[in-house]
Amino acid sequence: MLDLLITHATLPDGRQNMSIAVQDGRITEVTEGLQAPAHETVDAGGLLVSPPFVDAHFHMDSTLSYGQPRVNESGTLLEGIALWGELKPTLTHEAIVQRALQYCDMAVARGLLAIRSHVDTSHASLLPVQALLDVKQRVAPYLDLQLVAFPQDGVLRAPGGLENLKRALALGVDVVGGIPHFERTMAQGAESVKILCELAASQGKRVDMHCDESDDPHSRHVETLAYETQRLGLHGRVTGSHLTSMHSMDNYYVSKLMALMAEADLGVVANPLINITLQGRHDTYPKRRGMTRVPELMAAGLTVAFGHDCVLDPWYSGGSADMLEAAHMGLHVGQMTSQAAMRQCFDAVTVNPARLLGLEGYGLVPGAFADFVLLHARHPADAIRLRAARLGVWRRGKLLARQPAPAAQLHLPGRPEKVSFL
Ligand code: FE2
């Protein structure tokens, strides 16, 4: 007797009438038309069943703090950093924990079950680190929270920056972060990349740096990141986040750079919602979009994910833990409108970030964890178009969240009584 059987599911790769069998928290079989006795059977009715959403780039220590102590008037990255600097002295452990837990509630309801969050290590107190380590433990039964030691004020620029980051790693933070474009000079930025990659190599950690988050076509720390990755043999374990300067770089230089990135198997995270709002703020018209070259990087064989980055914080006044919103924006900004490209946008919030995080047991295959989402959509492009409702969210075979299919009642002469948008 199975614990759970999902029937009549459509999978992201297009297979239809699929059954997913679950026993002891794991998927035991994914087969067309399978019927078998189970304690619970869920008929997906031909709708899409996907592995859970994964956010490769988030800031959980600042989330849901919008308006504290004021809002970002210019809308720039640098005012956001200054504003976060004003907010930090007023933070408490409990306030960070409560906001983060509230965000994780939203995430689970959205089928978002794994998040890589950067956590600010700049201050010697490591208050945000302690708070998010607490949160990581508390949400572990239902959400994988991976933490990145993020030296927001610069690892070389801020006094004690490197030491505080090392202390955060010693406390249990998973990944080495960085912010080379915020260091004082290009040379210092490059030096910080070298130091941090060597630190990660010596501790067997992954790397995920905020890198070249500017409109400056000459900000080229990603070149150093790719170089250090291949020099230290960290292939496939290093991610460059944002890379917005690539939007503005010279095409010839990018043609060389992308080959170096591919050689290093560098991970890439674009954050479409944030990149489109923070970048291009010094432009008149035409205004640059700021998002890195997602379709070209994918075509070059790199693993590219879309991150949410921020929700209701000093940098962004929107968001609701919905990775389909990030995919929707990425699709538009990247002009990824072909059938294949829309599918790639769905992969960029599911399988691609799962690879960057190094998640084990991910995917709709026998042996994987029984983690999946039933979407009110027929296929991935539909899910993005509709930011589809998550009708059911399961982890380890247990139902974590459910919501009804959306439908509007209509009062129109000669027309149906309701519309479902499918
Ligand atoms: Fe970020």
DSSP secondary-structure letter at 406? Answer: P
Q: What domains appear along the chain, each with residue ranges and CATH number? A: 2-51+363-408 (2.30.40.10), 53-357 (3.20.20.140)
What distance in angstroms lies between residue 153's CA and the mean position of ligand 1's atoms? 13
- Each as own residue / partner, the long-range contacts of residues 75-82 (CB below 8 Å, 24 or more positions apart, any chain) are 75/277, 75/278, 75/281, 76/278, 76/281, 77/213, 77/214, 77/278, 77/315, 79/314, 80/278, 80/313, 80/314, 80/315, 81/152, 81/153, 81/182, 81/314
pLDDT digits (tens, 9 = 90+) for 76-111: 989 999 999 999 999 999 999 999 999 999 999 999
What distance in angstroms lies between residue 55's CA and the mean position of ligand 1's atoms? 12
pLDDT of residue 36: 96
**C-alpha span between 343 and 53 (Å, rounded):** 14
**C-alpha span between 372 and 392 (Å, rounded):** 8
pTM above 0.85, yes or no: yes
Give me the residues near ligand 1 (ion), CB cutoff below 5 Å. 309
pLDDT digits (tens, 9 = 90+) for 272-322: 999 999 999 999 999 999 999 999 999 999 999 999 999 999 999 999 999
Active site positions, annotated: 213
**C-alpha span between 101 and 95 (Å, rounded):** 10
Spans of the chain, pLDDT less than 50 = none
What distance in angstroms lies between residue 395's CA and the mean position of ligand 1's atoms? 27
pLDDT of residue 19: 98
Asked whether 175 and 240 are in contact (CB, 8 A), the reply is no
**Pairing status of strand 372-375 against strand 390-395:** antiparallel
Q: How many helices (H) and strands (E) does the chain have?
A: 14, 18
**Pairing status of strand 267-270 against strand 238-242:** parallel
What distance in angstroms lies between residue 269's CA and the mean position of ligand 1's atoms? 10
**C-alpha span between 287 and 266 (Å, rounded):** 28
Residue appearing with tokens 């995920």: 208
Asked whether 324 and 50 are in contact (CB, 8 A), the reply is no
pLDDT of residue 64: 97
pLDDT of residue 420: 86
- Give buried/exposed letters for 129-138 (b at 16+ CB in 10 A, else e): bbbbbbbbee
